[in-house]
Amino acid sequence: MSSSRPHDVVVVGSGFGGLFTTRALASVPGVRVTVISGTNHHLFQPLLYQVATGVLSSGEVAPATRDVLRRQRNARVLLGVVEDVDLDAREVVHSSPAGVTRTRYDSLVVAAGAGQSYFGHDEFAEHAPGMKSLDDALEIRGRIYGAFELAEVTRDEAAVERLLTFVVVGAGPTGVEMAGQVAELAHRVLPGQFRHVDPRRTRVLLVDPVDHVLPGFPERLSEAATRELEAQGVEIRTGWKVVDVDAEAVEIEDGDGGRQRVPASCKIWAAGVQGAPIGRVLAERAGVETDRSGRVPVEADCTLPGHPEVFVVGDLMRMDGLPGVAQVAMQSGQHAADQIRRRVDGRPTGQPFAYRDKGSMATVSRFFAVAQVGPVQTSGFVAWLLWLGVHLVYLVGFKNRLTTLLHWAVSFVGRGRAERAATWQQVVGRNAVRQDAGASFAP
Amino acid sequence: MSSSRPHDVVVVGSGFGGLFTTRALASVPGVRVTVISGTNHHLFQPLLYQVATGVLSSGEVAPATRDVLRRQRNARVLLGVVEDVDLDAREVVHSSPAGVTRTRYDSLVVAAGAGQSYFGHDEFAEHAPGMKSLDDALEIRGRIYGAFELAEVTRDEAAVERLLTFVVVGAGPTGVEMAGQVAELAHRVLPGQFRHVDPRRTRVLLVDPVDHVLPGFPERLSEAATRELEAQGVEIRTGWKVVDVDAEAVEIEDGDGGRQRVPASCKIWAAGVQGAPIGRVLAERAGVETDRSGRVPVEADCTLPGHPEVFVVGDLMRMDGLPGVAQVAMQSGQHAADQIRRRVDGRPTGQPFAYRDKGSMATVSRFFAVAQVGPVQTSGFVAWLLWLGVHLVYLVGFKNRLTTLLHWAVSFVGRGRAERAATWQQVVGRNAVRQDAGASFAP
């Protein structure tokens, strides 16, 4: 296909799937890429928990997408939420405060990702924010540091106990990392900064209906993570299910139906995922059914059934046996880009996507991670160094990897948390904005 | 006073005034300090414009107050908005989501600062956020980068023009710095990152009813700043007054009553200041009158008339001829601390506060500042180096001064802005929260 009209690729989403698709198309002649995303940044989600706990700043995990792609002349970036896809006209309908726009495509790659799933209990979201966006992380940061602040100011013992109880729902990597970080705040960072309350009284509960932490990891690593979490003082409640959440507490239930109400101000939801809403719209248009998590079933080559010109990649893609991890998003995005290149070149397409599992890792505490790379399973300091190296490599290309390293030094070698600032709005919560003392009030 | 009961000092506010008061009391035996603030951080306000324009992160200009004071064993920090002062019982009434608390004092230092004044037009605030708090800066960051994003996505020429017109109200240091930074974004940072719209089309208007920029600075420096701003493409509208602001435009009026409506999406209010609300409460309790800016008149020793045990310092203090700058806050805070120390020691008090003007400076653009230090007036690169040095010195003691230097290198030597990430909520504004694409939605 060497016609003069360019081949228009629309990429929905600026996460790992969208970014890796776009970059893989950089040197393909005759291709124009339009990235449409609801945020102006590429979110490096594996480090989002460090934003939530004050280790890193927003910018360090979320460089502006158009900055990352500035040298890729065949790519443009548009801010917008994709609300519909017209599969017949081959147009994407996206909206922003600037209005509704329709953008035509020859090939479409939907990499809109996933949000948090509350398993039918969306009312929990207000009390237990998820860990999927910058908004989430900054909200949680305000709640974590806010809880310690309020524990210092109140004289009500029951309130102190509630404020110093943190419940993390979901014992996958994000949940484990959050629980470990909050425990470290309580035991290593904050003691000595409070006069009334002892942050070491903090309880951190890690709750998951599955009966062990890090499901999906080898048993040995799960056990090593469990021991390290317990050494950090995290109370592991695996085999327990959260059945209710309100402003003051969570209610959890064990396998035998025994119930417990745990007073806790700060709850963090790191449990299920739910595909972005555009997934359901797209599936409906194509006459297929999303799965329970709202993911779109695809053919072996990551295309939408009946639409070889439409790809679904990353967390929004439903393909048997593939987990919702960054590596799947990157590789499926690259596969889609490769298929598009073949199509533009006039070569045969339809090659199945073959996922190469490069391994998985999770940090449990400072200097302690668990990692599986091929046949190698390791836990402890070596795994932590591996974690550090891998994340720095993947951060390469972002301007601020140097400041990230410095912030890590401050946090892991020192005892600091450089990004603790929480605005009053964040401390008191989205729904109860109060006036600032000496700042930002309308007099 | 060597009695065994400690002398309780309550400090209201964690800005320059509050922090310098507290630190000056660190080594005074028998004194206990309670800092009560509505934010968990000490805001380094002179660099707030760099947070608003993406140069620095929140944490770099806003370290946690209790982290800054962690080694000062005689100080505690409480989160709360001070709502009333009981001058007879010597108690401060402060509230937080944890409830209402009364805290007793022997000496009280009110350093609650000032917010933005809209000169009787509080309805402007929604459309033209101020520059006083982190909330403000992050809001403005979202609006600035959001405006460029929306200009790229819309096809409506009038909308592009409106989106690429930025109006800065107030030509003091903050206004000049904001105008210079937005111009630099438009002409140096963003070109090459957009495909449809040319950021160099951006107009930046700097509006002030006073007939020259940087009022309060020597005329020569004001003229130098004017020339540099014009060289950066900033349109200076001094002698013009903003008479109306709505979502789409500002209306400005020159000295002869001529009016102009300037369509502009992003407006930044860096004009007047208004003392924190507690100032008015305090004045009422003491039977004195605040001035038009809501500042509390004080005796020569910074005490509230009739109450030698109550000090008002910093921006909230009304003392003839003193400007609302960081130096006044620091020095008046230190004066209050000195008076308290004398009182505790049983020495005579009532010494008048003598302000030593150490000079003033403002950055206009990268490598260009204006500075007055004693009899020396300088503008250009040397003044900019001076600005850099002074701000680094004052940042010393904050863990992240190293990362600040790095971010400055990225921004001033390079062309980057490391902290551009704006959440969807910030781009679309507080009043129109939309769902995120692929993140943070309730499915």
Cβ neighbours of A47 in B, within 8 Å = none
Helix axes B381-395, B401-408, angle to 10 degrees: 160
A-B contacts (CB, under 8 Å):
336
**Residues A58, B13: C-beta atoms closer than 8 Å:** no
B42-63 mean pLDDT: 92
Cβ neighbours of A101 in B, within 8 Å = 153-155
Across A156-270, where does the E strand assignment appear? Answer: 165-169, 203-208, 234-238, 241-245, 249-253, 259-263, 266-269
B40 touches chain A (CB under 8 A): yes
**Residues B98, A400: C-beta atoms closer than 8 Å:** no
Contacts of B109 (CB under 8 A, 6+ apart): B9, B10, B11, B12, B17, B18, B21, B310, B311, B312, B313, B333, B336, B337, B340
Q: What percent of chain B has pLDDT over 70?
A: 93
Domain ranges (residues) in chain B: 7-38+80-113+276-345, 125-272
**Residues A438, B13: C-beta atoms closer than 8 Å:** yes
* B174, pLDDT greater than 70: yes
Band (pLDDT 50/70/90 cuts) for residue B188 is very high
A326-353 confidence digits (pLDDT tens): 999 999 999 999 999 999 999 999 999 9
A199 touches chain B (CB under 8 A): no
The 10 Å Cβ neighbour count of residue B415 is 17
User: Is B161 a residue of the active site?
Assistant: no
B7-38+80-113+276-345 and B125-272: same fold?
yes
Cβ neighbours of A116 in B, within 8 Å = 440
The length of chain B in residues reads: 443
The partner residue sitting opposite B436, judged by closest CB among A39, A125, A428, is: A39
The partner residue sitting opposite B70, judged by closest CB among A117, A192, A427, is: A192
Q: What is the DSSP letter of A3?
A: -
B196-241 confidence digits (pLDDT tens): 999 999 999 999 999 999 998 999 999 999 999 999 999 999 999 9
Distance from CA of A50 to the nearest CA of B (A): 13
Alpha carbon separation from B57 to A59, A178, A380, B61, B442 (Å, rounded): 7, 22, 32, 7, 28
Q: What is the CATH number of domain A7-113+276-345?
A: 3.50.50.60
Residue of A nearest to B148 (CA): A79
Distance from CA of B120 to the nearest CA of A (A): 9
Nearest Cα to Cα of residue B437 among A369, A145, A93: A93
* B266, pLDDT greater than 90: yes
In tens digits, chain A (443 residues) has pLDDT values of: 445 789 999 999 999 999 999 999 999 999 999 999 999 999 999 999 999 999 998 988 999 999 999 999 999 999 999 999 999 999 999 999 889 999 999 999 999 999 999 999 999 999 999 999 998 999 999 999 999 999 999 999 999 999 999 999 999 999 999 999 999 999 999 999 999 999 999 999 999 999 999 998 999 999 999 999 999 999 999 999 999 999 999 999 998 989 999 999 999 999 989 999 999 999 999 999 999 999 999 999 999 999 999 999 999 999 998 988 999 999 999 999 999 999 999 999 999 999 999 899 999 998 999 999 988 999 999 999 999 888 888 875 556 677 787 778 777 777 778 788 876 666 665 333 332 322 222 22
Helix axes B16-24, B326-345, angle to 10 degrees: 30
A283 touches chain B (CB under 8 A): no
Q: What is the DSSP letter of B103?
A: E
Which two three-digit tokens encode residue B15? 């800005």
Q: Which CATH number fits domain B7-38+80-113+276-345: 3.30.70.330, 3.30.1330.60, 3.40.1030.10, 3.50.50.60?
A: 3.50.50.60
The pLDDT of residue B425 is 67
B316 touches chain A (CB under 8 A): yes
Cβ neighbours of B12 in A, within 8 Å = 437-438
B377-410 confidence digits (pLDDT tens): 999 999 999 998 888 888 755 566 777 877 787 7
Q: What is the rounded distance in angstroms from the CA atom of residue B49 to the CA atom of residue A268?
A: 32
Q: What is the CATH number of domain B125-272?
A: 3.50.50.100
The residue of B33, B47, B51, B67 whose CB has the most chain A CBs within 10 angstroms, and thus the best one to mutate to test that interface, is B67
Cβ neighbours of B53 in A, within 8 Å = none
Q: Which CATH number fits domain A117-272: 3.50.50.100, 3.30.1600.10, 3.50.50.60, 3.90.25.10?
A: 3.50.50.100
List, as one string, the DSSP characters of A130-186.
-SSSHHHHHHHHHHHHHHHHHHHH---HHHHHHHTEEEEE--SHHHHHHHHHHHHII
B441 touches chain A (CB under 8 A): yes
A202 touches chain B (CB under 8 A): no
